[in-house]
A and B are shown apart, each in its own frame.
Chain A
Amino acid sequence: MIWVALGLAAAGCYLFKVVGMSLPSAWLDDPRVLRIATLLPVALLAALVAAQTFGNGRALVLDARAAGVAVAAVAVLFRAPFLLVVVLAAATAALVRAVSG
């Protein structure tokens, strides 16, 4: 299953890159196309943050991950570099788990 997903994602993502380079630039003249394309990653990334912080299969749970992401949010507010944000989140979650057993 992982191999199939990996193959399809690789092929599809490459196709987007090639097709984009082959389209006429007039294609961007419609402001709605530009707006949707700019905002699509925002909606998806926000959904991924929410789903991966609180989702556990089909259940919504509040566990150590939420503490980790909360600390990450503070780090982001202070414009910490990417790796620091990720490391702080992981360390916080690990700490909460270690303390709560």
Chain B
Amino acid sequence: MERRSIVRDAVAVGMATGAYGVAFGAAGVAAGFSVLQTCLSSLLVFTGASQFALVGVIGAGGGAAAAVGSALLLGARNALYGVRLSGVLGWTGWRRLVAAQGMIDESAAMALARPEPRAARLAFVSTATSVFVLWNLATLIGAVGATAVGDPAVLGLDAAAPAGFLALLAPRLREGGGVWRVAAAGAVIALLATPWLPPGVPVLLASFGVLVAVRTR
């Protein structure tokens, strides 16, 4: 019974993130990535916020270093999920190497919600698989669709990327505990630095906004 509800939840999460994959596919093409490059981002990088940062910074005229830097800073949280979950999942060797690619927000959240190891493993595998399949399928659809459309600005696709970041940020803001201050500091630092630094670098600089919270505690 529990098995069935775990798998059903996994499919639901996959469909929700899949919808968002269409937006990524379109954002990738709008940023100047080819359909192949956009699809490879979803297959190989496979962690949504980092992928959006990668195409967003390059689309805004930023260099490779700033784009990769933003993507890596956002991807660092997956390491944290791994630290929390590796004991429960208990995989080593090639299983760990394969499972690692699936260590993302959704699969980690679903596995952490199941204290019993067997249920946690099933939740992790089913969520990671369902998100991987639907995310990549959706990316292809979004990328091909955006290519057919042509000029991204006409469809307002350049507003889709910041709106997407806002939607990713919202659940974190609801957690409270000085989170708002950190977000405000990050945004202000990025805007103040924009006239003085190459595109993409202000966003990296904004990571120092975290110090606001760490120092005031």
Which of A's residues lie within 8 Å of B, judged by CB?
Answer: 1-6, 8-10, 12-14, 16-25, 27-28, 32, 34-55, 57-60, 64-65, 67-69, 72-73, 76, 81-83, 85-95, 97
Given contacts A55-B199, A65-B162, A82-B19, contact A6 B45 (CB under 8 A): yes
Given contact pairs A23-B83, A48-B70, a sample of 7 additional A-B residue pairs in the complex whose CB atoms are under 8 Å apart: A5-B68, A13-B46, A38-B77, A40-B73, A41-B49, A48-B162, A52-B165
**SS of A interface (majority):** helix
Given contacts A43-B207, A46-B206, contact A27 B100 (CB under 8 A): no
Which of B's residues lie within 8 Å of A, judged by CB?
Answer: 16, 19-20, 22-23, 32-33, 37, 40-41, 44-47, 49-54, 56, 58, 60-61, 63-64, 67-68, 70-87, 89, 91, 96-97, 99-101, 103, 153-170, 172-173, 178-179, 182-191, 194-199, 202-203, 206-210, 213-214, 217
Are the C-beta atoms of A21 and B99 separated by less than 8 Å? yes
Are the C-beta atoms of A45 and B58 separated by less than 8 Å? no
**SS of B interface (majority):** helix
Given contacts A2-B58, A44-B207, contact A52 B72 (CB under 8 A): no
Tally of A-B Cβ pairs under 8 angstroms: 317
Among B70, B101, B154, B199, point to the contact of A44 (Cβ < 8 A): B70
Among B41, B52, B154, point to the contact of A97 (Cβ < 8 A): B154
The 5 closest A-B pairs by CB, nearest first: A20-B82, A68-B159, A93-B156, A20-B79, A89-B163
Are the C-beta atoms of B182 and A37 separated by less than 8 Å? no
Among B67, B72, B75, B185, point to the contact of A43 (Cβ < 8 A): B185
In the bound complex, what is the Cα–Cα distance between A87 and B78 (angstroms)? Answer: 28
